[in-house]
Chains A and B, each alone.
Chain A
């Protein structure tokens, strides 16, 4: 181990460099490709981080319905390969290994970025990438209210508190909707006037309500202390499938309670973070088995607690920058079925220590990283980055070999948990080129990854599922983006566009009859794209958002049958807003039409999505 570290050290030391301030600012991002979401997009988004990412990036958000489970696939990888971080804290559920981005409102989020592939190597288990969110104290008192179709009501309030040496803010958000939209159910037929037709149905059982309270602060000058606390409660019914013929009363409900807290200490080049997360997912399924005879069939609680701590330190010397960091994560999971009295309780300890050495020349830089990872297994994670910059162009490249441990449910869930699972692991590498041409910023990235021991839950003849390491996956793709902004006379314009072509294929046959080799993974679109043009004149802003996703296969063999694929769809949203300066405060009012062209689409089989719908928002900001 020491010998390996020494080799990396010597490799990195064989270079020479230039100006230090730039090294300090830029050093930790050498070669990393990080996509920052436009802060104005965060500001105007009144929904969840899932919607924010869907509208502003070309990542595929797999949504099971409006306000339902929404997971993110980065570079053709699975939902469990995307890590979510908030204020440096890993908020991925240690039980499922996933994050439901529909439960995270944007109201308390001040910045959000997406790093993919090797650029996410610092985040343990981020084989696909990481979505990093930060909450900084708000500067202005702000209140907003949104009313919309399907009884949508969203209210938020941000209260800043300032003292001589500190800034604090409290944010609150409340949201609810019935989500009782109508749709033509093409999966059913009914007999009407002698004709069999697709019925118009209501999305049954899709109501939700959520409440969030968030505190964030900045205290001190010499030593900066950033405490934050986030309490969130999300109660939702799980909507019926389009092929559900039940009429009796039933309850199918999931309540998520989350508490996340962290304190960051920052002094010069030293950072220390401690934090903890707690979540309770309560699920209940009850059905009327005979007239007025409602029985609870499933009722479970899944409690997960994590305790986390991390330190980061960097030192700049002789055109080098050395970053050293260490992280500890202790997770405890308790899953308990109140009906069957089944469940499990398990602890998981993991830790990382990484050393990154960057070297700077006049116009380029490179860095190497070596991370030691513990947690059931001991693994060495290597990564290397390169970046070259001219006045107008930048070339970046990175390569890493990363691991993802099985989640606690993968290992211990009853029934079916498999304690013999191996970690998923693989290479990822990318090369990007970006250039500024006048008012236009262009960027192109090519990426490649090869991953082994993918975990998949398979049914067993005993009637339950169990996870197994069965697949190898190769991902390749190209991501392109363009952005422009400027003025045409008095009209300001802004436009960003992202396109992504992703091939994510299985390379390992499960048996001689397996037809999935060389085929695109289910639910991963080959093409995805977003376009966001915006025009502003005086205080009036017109924003259009277009998204498109190519067809998704539902079978690993990519059979092109009625059941085998979900069609391509295009989504258009448009909004018009006006701001008034009323002396001591600003008032803005906006109206949005979502799914402007009333596109009929689904993102997951048998899960209906809403047609054209409307939202009106009023926002007041005290200056």
Chain B
């Protein structure tokens, strides 16, 4: 048998949208797909081809900052820094507990959230080293969870998801948790609107959970002080919970997955279906920050390349394209 030693391909990629394909947990088959919104070109497995090695196990998220891309590979305990055009590796931050997202405060300081840890790691992206950690009060490692980060001024807001129910704020001057508010069981995602309010959706946990179980909900959170402004329980056809809340280009409308793809003005209280439930589990969602086009990821049977469907902001179907296994997160790269 010829053992597949892998060469590195030097190709400059032309794209706007990066898709993180999680791959199957424990199989190490995560990958990156690229999509050009102008000409519709799609490229697959670009990290693997560019570096002659695997991306790893469960690519959770990607962040574009200071001209570089940062790929967070959850169950490989690593974050890769790659060139935005060639995807060749520039460095890696290793030995992270279970990294989920990275948020940049400067070129030399970033926060990394974790699952199964009561700490948010502080890293130096220039040296690729951990330089500190923020203890999240009330959390223990076995049920610790910090997820997405949104910065408003000098505060970074974080939703705490797995077996948690809070949104916390971190003072970036002191690197300490300054406030916390309960928003409902398991807030899955976080975004801010044009009025600097935060929005989250909760999945409500699961029936039989020791942590409790409620209906999923949509929650608006004010930041000064950190408080729940408004919350609405969501009743769905399939009851799969709610996830992936996003705002549009102008920040006046929120979109999220709740069986269907739902949309609501930030001044409204009743979400509407903009893309109907299609007897499949939508797994990822993003809104083009330039055009407000909607991109929805469908993992199909979770063991084949998923598909991303593109819609106009009014829900009109535009096109679809294949990506990798379990497309779960997106990253827009407009330079």
A residues sitting closer than 8 Å to B (CB atoms) are 184, 186-189, 196, 198, 241-248, 287, 289-290, 295-298, 339-342, 344, 414-416, 456, 458-464, 470-471, 510-511, 513-516, 522, 554-557, 559, 561-563, 567-570, 599-601, 604-606
Contact = CB atoms under 8 A, between A and B. Distances in A.
Nearest to B28: A606
B53 A605 contact: no
Nearest to B143: A340
Given A186-B6, A245-B94, A287-B116, A511 B279 contact: yes
A94 B132 CA distance: 46
B303 A556 contact: yes
B92 interface: yes
Nearest to A567: B1
B266 interface: no
Interface stretch (B151-159, B172-180, B280-288): B280-288
A287 B97 contact: yes
B292 interface: no
Contacts of A243: 28, 54-57, 73, 76
B273 to A, nearest CB: 16
Among B133, B300, B324: residue with most chain A CB under 10 A: B300
A600 B1 contact: yes
10 contacts: A241-B75, A289-B118, A297-B141, A344-B208, A414-B209, A459-B302, A461-B257, A462-B203, A513-B298, A514-B300
Interface residues on B, range: 35 or more
B241 A189 contact: no
Contact of A241 (B44, B57, B241): B57
B3 A186 contact: yes
A340 B305 contact: no
A185 B166 CA distance: 41
B246 interface: no
A243 B55 CA distance: 8
Nearest to A514: B300
B51 to A, nearest CB: 6
Chain A residues touching B, majority SS: loop
Among B97, B211, B282: residue with most chain A CB under 10 A: B97
B141 A295 contact: yes
Interface of B: 1-6, 8, 23, 26-29, 31, 44-45, 48-49, 51-57, 73, 75-78, 89, 92, 94-97, 116-119, 133, 140-143, 161-163, 186, 188, 203, 205-211, 240-244, 257, 278-283, 298-305, 307, 320, 324-326
A392 B198 CA distance: 81
A200 to B, nearest CB: 13
A494 B158 CA distance: 69
A416 B3 CA distance: 39
A198 B6 CA distance: 9
B74 to A, nearest CB: 11
Contacts of B75: 241, 244
B304 A556 contact: yes
A522 B302 CA distance: 12
Given A241-B28, A567-B1, A599-B1, A246 B94 contact: yes
B94 A342 contact: no
B298 A511 contact: yes
A364 to B, nearest CB: 45
B326 to A, nearest CB: 7
Contact of B44 (A297, A561, A568): A561
Nearest to B299: A459
A248 B161 CA distance: 25
Contacts of B279: 511
A413 B85 CA distance: 45
A563 B48 contact: yes
B116 A297 contact: yes
Contacts of A604: 27
A456 B304 CA distance: 13
B268 to A, nearest CB: 23
B75 to A, nearest CB: 8
B281 A458 contact: yes
A296 B45 contact: no
Given A241-B28, A511-B278, 9 more contacts: A187-B28, A245-B95, A246-B96, A297-B142, A344-B208, A462-B205, A514-B300, A516-B304, A606-B29
Contacts of A462: 186, 203, 205-206, 240-241, 243
Given A244-B77, A561-B45, A516 B301 contact: yes
B48 A562 contact: yes
A229 B167 CA distance: 56
A555 B76 contact: no
B274 to A, nearest CB: 17
A342 B28 contact: no
A522 B303 contact: yes
A461 B281 contact: yes
Nearest to A565: B4
A289 B117 contact: yes
A471 B307 CA distance: 19
Contacts of B31: 563
Nearest to A185: B53
Given A563-B45, A606-B27, A244 B57 contact: yes
Nearest to B51: A189
Contact of B240 (A460, A471, A513): A460
Given A188-B54, A461-B203, A599-B1, A563 B29 contact: yes
A461 B27 contact: no
B317 to A, nearest CB: 13
Nearest to A339: B142
Contacts of B299: 459
A568 B94 CA distance: 33
Contacts of A198: 5-6, 53
Nearest to B284: A461
Contact of A562 (B6, B96, B161): B6
B301 A470 contact: yes
A289 B206 CA distance: 27
A605 B28 contact: yes
B326 A459 contact: yes
